[in-house]
Amino acid sequence: MIKYIGSKRRLVPVLGEILERSGARTALDVFTGTTRVAQEFKRRGAHVTTIDTATYSEILARCYIEADGDTVHSEDLTAALAELNALPGEAGYFTETFCEKARFFQPRNGARVDAIRNVLERDYRDSWLFPLLLTSLMEAADRVDSTTGVQMAYLKQWAPRANKPLELRLPELLPGTGRALRGDARQLVKSLEPVDLAYLDPPYNQHRYFTNYHIWETLVRWDAPEPYGIAQKRSDARSPETSSPFNRKRELAAALGEVVHDVKARLVMLSYNNEAWLSADELRAVLKPRGFVQTLAFDSKRYVGAQIGVHDPSGKKVGQVSHLRNLELLLVAGEREQVEHACRPFEALASTSMDAAPSS
């Protein structure tokens, strides 16, 4: 699983349990990101559809949600991974941009990414193996990067993991199938058939995922964009087409309200962060048209950048991080009896530590 800000690692067992208690057989993971939540729903037997605007998220979803672990020809996959792992490095755009002009990866690993990605484009583009192999490459690169988890900056000193050799591994596929959709949630939810449960996990500040994870966008698109700035971001990161209303404080409530209104689901779950732009009361107001709304709150650790502190480019500590923990809000909306039944195990845990949340 790639490092991803806002990823719901800790909330996953709770979300899975609520899905199961609600009896949902079909689910929608809007804003799916790493697909972590969708994977949990699939693991618990639901047919899942994912939505995200990011191309790397679509590739992850084609691998973990669409591909059926029971029917994949694992010998073909293993053989392809062995072939790619054996390729010698061949420095190209990726090495020059992300390892020489910037220092996100060691050049020897960058050269292997270049070589592997070129072969994927040449030999596997139209194969069912493509999203599986590309996911494996993204995850391999993530394991040897030199960041705190976002690609807006790299570390001044190489992270120890960056010195390890890049290694493609077999993605852990789940049995069953699902569907991966790429596009704006506001448009896509309108066209979908009803599901039992929809989970919404929108961005919660102005930092765009498109720029935070620009290297994954480029690795997937393989379009060698004109880079700019110290982090060598994609030039289209400045274009309005790659911005999201969910990253704009004044548009967020209306955009979320649109998705909540249009999504066809018996239960709607929304997770949000208490440091973000909308208060718990505002979130409840957004969900109110769906019926009864239950609010759960879980204490959780802030992302690693906040744990490390605020530093200037020379590495000197320049600021204080105000706090290291925050509250993850989870609101569940729908018919009262169903919501209360689905949330019952977590009522006592609400406002207590996520570390104590049960997993099933």
Binding status of residue 8 toward ligand SAM by CB under 6 A = yes
Task: Identify the three-state secondary structure at position 115.
Answer: helix
Q: How far is the CB of 183 from ligand SAM (least distance, A)?
A: 7
Binding status of residue 54 toward ligand SAM by CB under 6 A = yes
Question: 184, 236, 282, 340: which one contacts ligand SAM (CB under 6 A)?
Answer: 184
Q: Which residue has the tokens 């994912």?
A: 50
CA distance 214 to 357: 33
Binding status of residue 41 toward ligand SAM by CB under 6 A = no
CA distance 38 to 146: 28
**Ramachandran quadrant class, 334 (left: phi over 0; alpha: psi -120 to 50; beta: rest):** left
Question: 6, 110, 171, 227: which one contacts ligand SAM (CB under 6 A)?
Answer: 6
CA distance 211 to 207: 8
Structural tokens at position 136: 């494996």
Binding status of residue 142 toward ligand SAM by CB under 6 A = no
Question: 244, 295, 300, 338: which one contacts ligand SAM (CB under 6 A)?
Answer: 244
The stretch among 51-59, 173-181, 293-301, 346-354 that binds ligand SAM (CB under 6 A) is 51-59
Binding status of residue 217 toward ligand SAM by CB under 6 A = no
CA 214 to chain centre: 13
Question: 16, 26, 28, 36: which one contacts ligand SAM (CB under 6 A)?
Answer: 36
Triad 246, 251, 256: Cα angle to 5°? 55
Task: Identify the three-state secondary structure at position 56.
Answer: helix
As a whole number of Å, the end-to-end CA separation of the chain is: 20
Residue nearer to ligand SAM on the CB measure, 105 or 199:
199
Binding status of residue 130 toward ligand SAM by CB under 6 A = no
Beta strands in 159-305 (DSSP E): 179-182, 195-200, 227-228, 233-234, 265-273, 292-301
CA distance 34 to 100: 28
Binding status of residue 246 toward ligand SAM by CB under 6 A = yes
Q: How far is the CB of 29 from ligand SAM (least distance, A)?
A: 7
Binding status of residue 110 toward ligand SAM by CB under 6 A = no
Residue nearer to ligand SAM on the CB measure, 105 or 246:
246
Closest CA to 256 of 210, 208, 189, 207: 189
Binding status of residue 16 toward ligand SAM by CB under 6 A = no
Residue nearer to ligand SAM on the CB measure, 8 or 290:
8
Cβ atoms of residues 242 and 210 within 8 Å = yes
Report the DSSP beta bridge partners of residue 180: 50
Residue nearer to ligand SAM on the CB measure, 8 or 214:
8
Binding status of residue 56 toward ligand SAM by CB under 6 A = no
Contact residues for ligand SAM, defined by CB under 6 A: 4, 6-8, 31-34, 36-37, 51-54, 57, 184-185, 201-203, 209, 244, 246
